Amino acid sequence: MKVDALKVKLAFLSKKSVALLQLLSCFESDIPYLVDAYEKLEDLRIVLETNCVAANITFETRAAILHQFEEAFSLAVQKPDKYMTEGQPGINYVKACRIFKPQNTVLLSRHKEDYSAILGFAQISDDEFAKYINVIGSQAVQNSTDINPLDVLTFWKSVCDRLPSLHTLAKMYLSSLKTRADAESSFSKYNQILSPQRLSLSEDTIRMLEFLYWNLNVVTS
């Protein structure tokens, strides 16, 4: 019975872990690509929700491990569900940033005020916003093909003259990180640098040491 249960668990994990790990990898802190974050979070919630009830398990082993699967996925799905409904004040910002992906212009709201969570968006002129969402963005999507797909970064570089204000915002927000892990690591590194034996270090020296730490890691990685 234990051997059968172990086989089922391993088979289940090998089947489900690939999609789960692919989604989780999208939220690595060093990937500055925000416009797909909300969709990936939705996909993650769906994967977890659809696996809250185990399936395709033989009757003999189902009863032994069903509760384990249900409990694991039920607990896991609470995290993205909380983030997307009530627990994460930044979710409206992440949701609004989807507008910087031209492919989303046909699906998202066409009202500029719906993107007020993006700092600086209110200053975009109504004409420029309408030009992007009704003409330039949709034309770029129509002109893309499977062989020549629309690249978001290339698109914004190509429209910097026609959509100057939006281009400036897009350039800034497309390089935003999806998590705060690096920021928290930075604070931790400050605490290590500014040890009790180094309290006399100047602010400039601390900044330079911090800069060297992170950039030497980039160069050697």
Instruction: Answer whether 105's CB lies under 8 Å from 137's CB.
Output: yes
d(CA 129, CA 111): 9
Query: Could you tell me if 165 and 204 lie in one domain?
Result: no
Q: Examine residue 93 and state whether it is found in any structural domain, yes or no.
A: no
pLDDT bin (cut points 50, 70, 90) of residue 161 is very high
Average pLDDT for residues 118-131, to the nearest whole number?
94
Query: Could you tell me if 165 and 197 lie in one domain?
Result: no
Q: Tell me the per-residue pLDDT of 104-117, one tens digit each, with 9 for 90 and over.
A: 998 899 999 999 98
What phi, psi does 213 have (nearest 5°)? Answer: -60, -50
Average pLDDT for residues 214-219, to the nearest whole number?
58
Q: Examine residue 50 and state whether it is found in any structural domain, yes or no.
A: yes
- What's the number of domains the chain is made of? 3
pTM for this prediction: 0.58
Query: Could you tell me if 72 and 106 lie in one domain?
Result: no
**Residue 201 burial (C-beta neighbours within 10 Å; 0-12, 13-18, 19+):** middle
Q: Examine residue 94 and state whether it is found in any structural domain, yes or no.
A: no
For residue 68, pLDDT beyond 50: yes
The answer for residues whose C-beta is within 8 angstroms of residue 52's C-beta and 6 or more apart is 70, 73, 74, 77
Range of the domain at 200: 181-220
Query: Could you tell me if 37 and 21 lie in one domain?
Result: yes
For residue 188, pLDDT beyond 90: no
| Residue corresponding to tokens 């006399």 | 200
Fill in the DSSP letter of residue 90.
Answer: T
Share of the chain above pLDDT 70, in %: 61
Highest mean pLDDT: which of 1-5, 28-32, 122-126, 206-210? 122-126
Neighbours of 29 (CB within 10 A): 14
Report helix, strand and coil shares of the chain as percent, to nearest 5: 70, 0, 30
Q: Mean pLDDT for the chain?
A: 76
For residue 102, pLDDT beyond 60: yes
Query: Could you tell me if 135 and 203 lie in one domain?
Result: no
